[in-house]
């Protein structure tokens, strides 16, 4: 299969920060970028060559978009299947529709994992309120209930301690299809970000440790503080999963490390991931450049780290007392600032991130947290 060479146009479905960082990597290597979403002046659109604003259901617009590019990828996996099919009639869509289909629905994803022997927590499907009793008996308490589709960053999730909570959570989410998962009392959370090329070449950045706040990723650092055996097992699972999905592109697997050293897959994302943002500054090849190389059929780059690193997300909450103090964060020599060009800083909205490099992951985490603290213009009134 011939590679897609610099000068070609790449289509990105979605227009958020992941598309923006992908577009920056693509333009650096001389590619053109077209982005498609329902909005304008988007994080991706601001740096793309062409920004198309149309509904994902407008299949004629999708066809015109696909005909103007050599390959289509995405930065947002909740793209309707019909949209992907319409694009795939003209150009390759990478990763393909199968990876997208599996990962768009938590029940499909967990079923896929279990039926292929991958380790994950106990789960049960809830299609209606009558399923709750049996589901809870299977999974036990406490449990986590999540909407089967369209949930992200903790939206559509609830921890439940008894049947009453579960009924309430089910109705609270509008009675839509849900998954009940056993609550994992984990030691830590980590992710494996990896890429697989058209020829099956597989690369990864090793385990990246994650800390969440209110179900949203807060801080990531690499290398993760975990033993060699768990780390090796995670790499083995990652490679097998990427092969099973016949992945062309980047995949992130979020894992739990349990207190007895077992690894469990929590979630898959068939695209670059927030926890991999530190690869931009800390690795010879970022997850975004790797996505570009993979979807274009180029050899993948080195994933060697230039140092230990940590990343802290900047949410819209940081703007509560006005514009953050950018010079203060830039004053730390090992800290890099990334902002996504979003105009409105809503609470919980990912506006940007900071990355710090240091000799160890612990010191990188300390530096990046200090830099974020320094961004606050004034102390919050108590
Ligand atoms: P998710 O949207 O599935 O990635 O969940 C967001 C975060 O909620 C995870 O990173 C965990 O911190 C927590 N979480 C999700 N599922 C579980 C579970 N089954 N057990 C314990 N914590 C969970």
DSSP annotation string for 321-350: TSS--HHHHHTSTTEEEEE---S---TT-E
Q: What is the pLDDT of residues 303-351, one digit of tens each?
A: 999 999 999 999 999 999 899 999 998 999 999 999 999 999 999 999 9
User: What is the DSSP track for 32-88?
Assistant: EEEEEES-SS-TTTTTSSEEEE--TT-HHHHHHHHHTSSEEEES-S---HHHHHHHH
| Residue tagged 């033993």 (tokens) | 227
Q: What is the pLDDT of residues 25-72, one digit of tens each?
A: 999 999 999 999 999 999 999 999 999 999 999 999 999 999 999 999
Does residue 154 line the site of ligand 1, with CB under 6 A?
yes
Which is it for the CA torsion 166, 180, 350, 41, positive or negative? negative
Ligand 1 center from residue 20 Cα (angstroms): 26
Candidates 216, 218, 213, 209; CA nearest to 190 is 209
**Cα–Cα distance, 251 to 238 (Å, whole number):** 9
Ligand 1 center from residue 327 Cα (angstroms): 35
Task: Supply the pLDDT for residue 150.
Answer: 76
Task: Supply the pLDDT for residue 316.
Answer: 97
User: What is the DSSP track for 255-288?
Assistant: EEEETTS-EEEEEEESS--GGGTTHHHHBSS-HH
Token readout for 244 is 């099973």
Residue bearing the CA closest to ligand 1, atom 7: 215
**Cα–Cα distance, 355 to 369 (Å, whole number):** 10
Ligand 1 center from residue 165 Cα (angstroms): 18
Task: Supply the pLDDT for residue 321.
Answer: 87
Residues whose CB falls within 8 Å of the CB of residue 213, separated by 6 or more in sequence, listed in order: none
Task: Supply the pLDDT for residue 382.
Answer: 53
Residue 93 DSSP class: B
Residue bearing the CA closest to ligand 1, atom 19: 183
Does residue 266 line the site of ligand 1, with CB under 6 A?
yes
Ligand 1 center from residue 184 Cα (angstroms): 8
Q: Which residues of 347-367 are buried (b: 16+ CB within 10 A; e: fewer)?
A: eebbbbbbbbbbeebebbbeb
Task: Supply the pLDDT for residue 1.
Answer: 76
From the CA of 146, give the closest atom in ligand 1. 3
Beta strand 178-182 with 143-147: parallel, antiparallel or unpaired? Answer: antiparallel
Candidates 142, 130, 112; CA nearest to 178 is 130
Torsion-angle region of 117 (φ positive above 0: left; ψ -120 to 50: alpha; else: beta): left
* pTM for the model: 0.96
Best residue among 151, 266, 268 to mutate for probing ligand 1, ranked by most atoms within 8 Å of CB:
266
Low-confidence ranges of the chain (pLDDT < 50): none
Does residue 183 line the site of ligand 1, with CB under 6 A?
yes
Candidates 321, 317, 187; CA nearest to 260 is 187
Task: Supply the pLDDT for residue 156.
Answer: 76
Task: Supply the pLDDT for residue 153.
Answer: 64
From the CA of 254, give the closest atom in ligand 1. 4
Q: Is 382 exposed, middle or buried (0-12, 13-18, 19+ CB in 10 A)?
A: exposed
């Amino acid at each position: 299969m011939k590679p897609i060479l610099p000068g070609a146009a790449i289509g990105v479905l979605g227009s958020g920060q992941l598309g923006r960082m992908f577009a920056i990597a693509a333009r650096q290597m001389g590619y053109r970028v077209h982005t498609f979403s329902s909005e304008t002046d988007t994080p991706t659109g601001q740096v793309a060559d062409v920004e198309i604003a149309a509904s994902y259901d407008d299949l004629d617009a999708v066809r015109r978009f696909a005909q103007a590019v050599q390959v289509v990828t995405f930065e947002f996996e909740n793209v309707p299947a019909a949209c992907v099919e319409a694009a795939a009639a003209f150009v390759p869509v990478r990763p393909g529709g199968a990876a997208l289909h599996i990962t768009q629905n938590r029940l499909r994803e967990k079923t896929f994992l279990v039926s292929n022997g991958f380790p994950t927590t106990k789960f049960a499907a809830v299609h209606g309120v009558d399923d709750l009793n049996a589901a809870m008996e299977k999974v036990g308490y406490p449990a986590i209930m999540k909407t089967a589709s369209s949930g992200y960053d903790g939206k559509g999730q609830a921890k439940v301690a008894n049947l009453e909570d579960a009924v309430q959570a089910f109705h609270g989410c509008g009675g839509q299809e849900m998954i009940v998962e056993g609550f994992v009392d984990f030691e830590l959370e980590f992710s494996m970000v990896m890429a697989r090329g058209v020829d099956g070449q597989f690369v990864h950045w090793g385990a990246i440790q994650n800390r969440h706040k209110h179900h949203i990723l807060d801080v990531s650092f690499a290398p993760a503080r975990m033993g060699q055996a768990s780390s090796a097992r995670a790499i083995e699972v990652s490679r097998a999963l990427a092969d099973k999905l016949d992945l062309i592109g980047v995949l992130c697997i979020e894992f739990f490390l349990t207190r007895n050293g077992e690894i469990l897959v929590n979630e898959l994302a068939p695209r670059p991931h927030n926890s991999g943002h530190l690869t931009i500054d800390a690795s010879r090849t970022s997850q975004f450049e790797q996505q570009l190389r993979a979807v274009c059929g180029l050899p993948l780059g080195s994933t060697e780290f230039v140092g230990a690193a940590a990343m802290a997300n900047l949410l819209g909450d940081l703007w509560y007392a006005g514009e953050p103090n950018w010079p203060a964060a830039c004053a730390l020599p090992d800290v890099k600032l990334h902002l996504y060009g979003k105009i409105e800083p809503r609470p919980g909205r990912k506006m940007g991130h900071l990355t710090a490099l240091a000799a160890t992951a612990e010191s990188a985490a300390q530096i990046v947290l200090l830099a974020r603290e320094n961004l606050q213009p004034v102390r919050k009134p108590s």
